[in-house]
Amino acid sequence: MGKDVIVACDFNTAEETLRFLDNFTEEKPYVKIGMELFYAEGPEIVREIKRRGHKIFLDLKLHDIPNTVKKAMAVLSRLDVDMCNLHAAGTVAMMEAAIEGLTRPDGTRPLLIAVTQLTSTDQERMERDLLINEPLEKVVMHYASNAKAAGLDGVVCSPLESPAVHETCGKEFLTVTPGVRFADGDKGDQVRVTTPEKARQLASDYIVVGRPITQAQDPVAAYRRCIKEFVG
C-alpha cells in the first residue's frame, strides 16, 4: 500500500480542474480535492474525476459530534473516494464513529487519515487559544496514537514527523505529507519544506504536492519528477 504522489488540485472551479487534469494523457495521478473545490462544485466533481480513472483524497477535515460524522462519512463512502480525513481533536469516539460510517456493507472502506495539529498552529497559539500546555510534538504523537487506537489508517503530518509517527504507531501506519518542494523550486508560503527524495528517505507513505506541479510550466514533467524522486 502507499508510496504515491497525491496532486493537490487547489482550483476553485471544475472547469479549471478538469483542464489541468487533461494535461495527463498517460498517467492518472492521485488527486486531492479540498474544501474550496468541493464547496464550489459539490459531489459531481468527485464523480467526474473518478469517472476519468483517478484515485481521490477528499480533504474535508470533518469535526463534529460522533453521530453527525458517522452519517457524513457514510455519504463520502458511497461517493467512492479512496481517502478522506477528519480532525483527531474530535476524540476517539468520533473517530470510531467515522470508521463505522465509512465501512460499506461488504466490509471495504476508503482510507481514513487524521489531522493532528494543523501546521498553522504553533506552540504559543496552542497554549494560548486551546489551553494545551504540552510540547507540540507530544500532542501530535498523542493524537496519532488516538487515531491508531480508533482504527484509522494514518495521519497527515510533515515529512519531518514521519519517522516519529512510524516509531510511535508502527511502520504500517500511514503518513500523508504536504510541504514538499523541489530542491531548486520556489517555497511559496510553506516554511519547513522537504524534497520528494528526502520525503522518501524519511519514509513518508504519500506526498501531497500542489503548486510545484499545478503551477509548473510543464505539469506532467513536474509530476514525473516527483514520482521519480519519491517512488523511484
Binning the chain into helix, strand and coil, the percentages to the nearest 5 are 45, 15, 35
Would you count residue 88 as binding ligand C5P (CB under 6 A)? no
Q: Is 32 a catalytic residue?
A: no
Instruction: Please name the helix (run of DSSP H) or strand (run of DSSP E) that holds residue 5, with its range, or none.
Output: strand 4-8
CA distance 27 to 223: 9
Would you count residue 66 as binding ligand C5P (CB under 6 A)? no
Would you count residue 208 as binding ligand C5P (CB under 6 A)? yes
DSSP letter at 89 equals G
Query: Considering CB under 6 A, how many residues would be counted as binding ligand C5P?
Result: 15
- Nearest Cα residue to 168 out of 92, 123, 119, 116: 116
Which residue in 74, 211, 220, 227 binds ligand C5P (CB under 6 A)? 211
Would you count residue 33 as binding ligand C5P (CB under 6 A)? no
Would you count residue 222 as binding ligand C5P (CB under 6 A)? no
Would you count residue 90 as binding ligand C5P (CB under 6 A)? no
Which residue in 5, 7, 8, 45 binds ligand C5P (CB under 6 A)? 8
In the complex, which residue's CB is closest to ligand C5P? 210
Which residue in 10, 153, 161, 229 binds ligand C5P (CB under 6 A)? 10
Q: How many CB atoms lie within 10 A of CB 128?
A: 10
Residues 187-206 that bind ligand C5P (CB under 6 A): 188, 190
Q: Where are the alpha helices (DSSP H) in 59-205?
A: 66-78, 92-102, 123-130, 136-149, 162-169, 196-201
Residues 108-137 that bind ligand C5P (CB under 6 A): 118-119
HSE-up (13 A, CA, CB side) for residue 136: 15
Q: Specify which residues 84 forms β-bridges with.
A: 58, 112
Shortest CB 98 distance to ligand C5P, Å = 18
Cell of 206: 504519500
| Residue 121, Cβ density class (10 Å: 0-12 exposed, 13-18 middle, ≥19 buried) | middle
Would you count residue 178 as binding ligand C5P (CB under 6 A)? yes
Q: Tell me the residue type at 128.
A: R
Candidates 3, 50, 61, 198; catalytic one = 61
Shortest CB 103 distance to ligand C5P, Å = 25
Q: Between residues 98 and 155, which has the closer beta carbon with respect to ligand C5P?
A: 155
The binding track of 141-160 with respect to ligand C5P, each residue x by CB under 6 A or -, is ---------------x----
Instruction: Please name the helix (run of DSSP H) or strand (run of DSSP E) that holds residue 41, with its range, or none.
Output: helix 35-41
Q: Which residues are catalytic?
A: 61
Residues at the interface with ligand C5P (CB under 6 A): 8, 10, 34, 118-119, 156, 178-179, 188, 190, 208-212
